[in-house]
Chains A and B, each alone.
Chain A
Amino acid sequence: MSKKLYQIIGKILDVPASEINDESSPETIENWDSFNSLMLADELESEFNVSFTLEEIIDSANVAAIKKHLKNHGVSLDD
Chain B
Amino acid sequence: MSLNTHKLSYYISKAKSSNGSKFDKKIRIALLSSFTINGLEETLRVLCFQNKIDCKTYVGNYNQYNQEILNKDSKLYKFKPDITVLIFDTRNFLGDLFFSPYAISSKKRGDFVNNKTVEIQELVNTFSKNSESKLIISNLAIPTYSPYGIYEAKADFGLQTMVTKFNENLIQFSKNNQSIYLYNFNQFVTKYGEQNVFDYKQYFLGDVKISTNYIPSFANELMGYVKPTLGLNKKCIVLDLDNTLWGGIVGEDGYNGISLGDTPSGKAFVEFQKILLSLHQRGIILAINSKNNPVDAMEVIKNHPNMILREENFACIKINWNDKLSNMQEIANELNIGLESIVFFDDDPMNRELIRSTIPEVLTPELSKDPSQFPLVLLNLNDFDVLKITGEDSKRGEMYQQQRKRTELSQKTKNLDDFLNQLDIKVKIKTASEFTLPRISQLTLKTNQFNLTTKRYQEEEIRNFINSPDKVVACAQVTDKFGDNGITGVYIINKDSNEEWSIDTMLLSCRIMGRGVEEGMLDHIIQEARNVGVTRIKANYIPTKKNKPVENFLPDFGFKKENDLWYYYVDDKVKKPKHIEMIVEK
User: A39 touching B8 by the CB < 8 A rule?
Assistant: yes
B21-50 contacts to A (CB < 8 Å): 36, 38-39
Chain A residues with CB under 8 A of B204: 54
Q: How far is the CB of B326 from chain A (nearest CB, A)?
A: 44
In this complex, the interface size class of chain B, counting residues with CB under 8 Å from chain A, is: 10 to 19
Chain B residue nearest to A34 in the complex (CB):
B206
Chain A residues with CB under 8 A of B13: 11, 14
If over half of B's interface residues share one DSSP class (helix, strand or loop), that class is named, otherwise mixed; here it is helix
Q: How far is the CB of B469 from chain A (nearest CB, A)?
A: 52
Chain A residues with CB under 8 A of B205: 34, 37-38, 54, 57-58
Q: A38-B206, A54-B205, A58-B205 are in contact. Are A12 and B38 (CB under 8 A)?
A: no
Chain A residue nearest to B12 in the complex (CB):
A39
Q: How far is the CB of B339 from chain A (nearest CB, A)?
A: 36
A-B contact number at CB 8 A:
36
Chain B residues with CB under 8 A of A43: 7, 9
Chain A residue nearest to B211 in the complex (CB):
A42
Chain B residues with CB under 8 A of A58: 205
In the bound complex, how far is the Cα of B12 from the Cα of A35, in angstroms?
12
User: B206 touching A11 by the CB < 8 A rule?
Assistant: no
Q: How far is the CB of A66 from chain B (nearest CB, A)?
A: 15
Task: Tell me which of A11, A37, A52, A57 contacts B9 (CB under 8 A).
Answer: A11
Chain A residues with CB under 8 A of B8: 39
* Binary interface encoding of chain A residues 31-65 relative to chain B, with 1 for a CB under 8 A from any of its CBs, else 0: 00011011101110000000010100110000000
Q: How far is the CB of B61 from chain A (nearest CB, A)?
A: 15
In the bound complex, how far is the Cα of B199 from the Cα of A52, in angstroms?
13
Chain B residues with CB under 8 A of A12: 9
User: A35 touching B38 by the CB < 8 A rule?
Assistant: yes
Chain B residues with CB under 8 A of A54: 201, 204-205
Question: B113 at the A/B interface (Cβ < 8 Å)?
Answer: no
Chain B residues with CB under 8 A of A57: 201, 205
Chain B residues with CB under 8 A of A38: 202, 205-206, 208, 212
* Binary interface encoding of chain A residues 1-38 relative to chain B, with 1 for a CB under 8 A from any of its CBs, else 0: 00000000001101000000000000000000011011
In the bound complex, how far is the Cα of B205 from the Cα of A58, in angstroms?
8
User: B201 touching A39 by the CB < 8 A rule?
Assistant: no
Chain B residue nearest to A31 in the complex (CB):
B12
Chain A residue nearest to B202 in the complex (CB):
A38
Question: B372 at the A/B interface (Cβ < 8 Å)?
Answer: no
Question: B213 at the A/B interface (Cβ < 8 Å)?
Answer: yes
Chain A residues with CB under 8 A of B36: 35
User: B201 touching A35 by the CB < 8 A rule?
Assistant: no
User: B9 touching A35 by the CB < 8 A rule?
Assistant: no
Chain A residues with CB under 8 A of B39: 35, 39
In the bound complex, how far is the Cα of B36 from the Cα of A52, in angstroms?
21
A59-77 contacts to B (CB < 8 Å): none
In the bound complex, how far is the Cα of B580 from the Cα of A26, in angstroms?
74
In the bound complex, how far is the Cα of B42 from the Cα of A14, in angstroms?
15
Chain A residue nearest to B199 in the complex (CB):
A42
Chain B residues with CB under 8 A of A52: 201
B interface residues (Cβ-Cβ under 8 A, vs A): 7-9, 12-13, 16, 36, 38-39, 201-202, 204-206, 208, 211-213
List 28 interface pairs A-B (beta carbons < 8 Å), by A numbering.
A11-B9, A11-B13, A12-B9, A14-B16, A34-B205, A35-B38, A35-B206, A37-B205, A38-B202, A38-B206, A38-B208, A38-B212, A39-B8, A39-B9, A39-B12, A39-B39, A39-B212, A41-B201, A42-B202, A42-B213, A43-B7, A43-B9, A52-B201, A54-B201, A54-B204, A54-B205, A57-B201, A57-B205
